[in-house]
Chain A
Amino acid sequence: MILLKSVSLEYPITRTLALDDVSLHIQKGEFVYLVGHSGAGKSSFMNLVIKRTLPTRGTVQVSGEPLSAYRGRRTAVLRRRIGMVFQENLLLEHLNAYDNVAFALRVTGVPQREWGNRVTAALRTVGMEHKKYALPMQLSQGEQQRVAIARAVVGDPPLLLADEPTGNLDPENSREVLKVLQQVNLRGTTVLVATHARDLVESFRHRTLTLRRGRLVRDDPYGGYAL
């Protein structure tokens, strides 16, 4: 699903080495944590996968194709295969939960007649079906994050990336969000969660990749947080 071969990423303006010679392989259907302190390279890793940035050295493959194969219109195709959830949920304030989720289908050209079933199913998966008409400001942070997850998975992407999805949440809501992500993974979606929430990584054990100053220092198939 995701393959990195000797990947380095240096930001030219600040000359910061965000990723340093990272090689790894994430298989289809896996649930993987990406852990590390702030500045360890977690977000840079995510940005590489969605082609927000390109590696300085090495190759990145997503769904069997190198990033260089996704050019122009194909960049959009790549992103349709990847659901994204961020610390800031990036919901559109003027749209209710239903419309926020449907927005993902609208922008990718899914016919409107399909929206109803798919949006309802996605909201049901995250346990938000009963609040589909609520605006983001009427929802708690945890609920907003769950709607954001519904929006990320409504297009049935084979890969879901979550960058600090619990960063703004209290422990209880964090656990709820993690449970939802696990449910998504159980449906066959590969899930990659970048986090520094030690308790969650310890509680819901999955393969854990540890980054330190841009280097992959540990790849623990049984999980556990060790920095």
Chain B
Amino acid sequence: MIYHFRQALLAMRGNLTATLATLGTMTLTLLMLGFVVLLTQNVGRTLSQLESQVEVAAFLRGGADTAGLLAQVRALPQVREATLISREQVLDEMTRDYPYARDAAQLTGNPFPDTLRMKVARVQDSTVVAASVSRLSGVQDVEYGAGYVDQTVRTLSAVRGAGYVLVGLLLFGTLLNILNAVRVAIYARRNEISVMRLLGATRGFIRMPHLIEGVLLGLLAGGVSVGLLAPAYFQLAARVQALVPVLPIISDPHVVWPILAGMPLLGVLVGLVGSFFATGRYLRELE
């Protein structure tokens, strides 16, 4: 094994340009991948929060059968939760946010109607629930935030999808780079490999240094990308959190580090697969 390891290091040193090119591409790809995965996690968490906050509010007419309406909306399959807020409770809530609301109510009377607040199982259901509830007798008006939520969900999903496509392309590029680097290394060793085959070396013995080379490149690229991404992410997360406290940014090390640890593992896997195919193809050509 020491021999194979030494041969791998010699090959990397002997083809320094190809090695550095591969290392650079791999590092960039893994950086990008790590960034996209973290972004996706954050997007996912934001989407969940948005979805959990989406409410459909039905404003009732004075004298409406509140208990009956509450029972009817609870019977809708898309409704996860429904509560009746009396006009006095609404005024209390408004007074908490806008202290002058109570003063105004004392002058003109409580302007707020009894309100049914409903939480839906899925954000897409908001429209259906709003339409159904608006047709109920005693309901004056219906409001829901699905318009902006839908758009946000679509935008965030598109960002996530674009990120995955980009990472896929970069991974493919990295694989080609590895193939190229290993082929250059094999070409440099072609005399030695010819002799090895004639002396009865197995394919495993011949390809081992190149597999090690792929693994080392993957590990190095993974290490460098984690070294760059980890501090950058934690710093960025802290700044975003400070700027937009409402965003549920993931900064828990127990969540972030497993994702970061996956990057060197993926690097090793890509390196191994690339080297395996490159050596396999070359050895087939030799036979």
Contact = CB atoms under 8 A, between A and B. Distances in A.
Nearest to A75: B287
B279 to A, nearest CB: 15
B191 A107 contact: no
B198 A73 contact: no
A104 interface: yes
Nearest to A91: B195
A73 B201 CA distance: 9
B231 interface: no
B148 interface: no
B194 interface: yes
Given A76-B201, A76-B202, A107 B196 contact: yes
Interface string B183-212: 000000001101111111111010000000
A106 interface: yes
A81 B196 CA distance: 14
A81 B287 CA distance: 18
A92 interface: yes
Contacts of B287: 75
B3 interface: yes
A73 B195 CA distance: 17
Contacts of A109: 205
A108 B191 contact: no
A212 interface: no
Nearest to A109: B205
B198 A79 contact: yes
Q: How large is the interface on B (under 10, 10 to 19, 20 to 34, 35 or more residues)?
A: 10 to 19
Contacts, number: 43
Give the interface SS of chain A, mostly helix, strand, loop or mixed: helix
B206 to A, nearest CB: 8
A97 to B, nearest CB: 14
A55 B198 CA distance: 19
B194 A107 contact: no
Contact of B199 (A73, A75, A77, A104): A104
A106 B192 CA distance: 13
B191 A73 contact: no
B3 A106 contact: yes
A146 interface: no
B195, B200, B201, B203: residue with the most chain A Cβ atoms closer than 10 Å? B200
B191 A92 contact: yes
Interface of A: 50, 73, 75-81, 84, 90, 92, 103-104, 106-109, 151, 155
Given A90-B194, A92-B191, 12 more contacts: A73-B203, A75-B287, A76-B197, A76-B200, A80-B200, A84-B199, A92-B195, A103-B195, A106-B3, A109-B205, A155-B199, A155-B200
Interface of B: 3, 191-192, 194-203, 205, 287
28 contacts: A73-B203, A76-B200, A76-B201, A76-B203, A77-B200, A78-B200, A79-B197, A79-B198, A79-B199, A80-B199, A80-B200, A84-B198, A84-B199, A90-B191, A90-B195, A90-B198, A92-B192, A103-B199, A104-B199, A107-B196, A107-B200, A107-B201, A107-B205, A108-B200, A108-B201, A151-B199, A155-B199, A155-B200
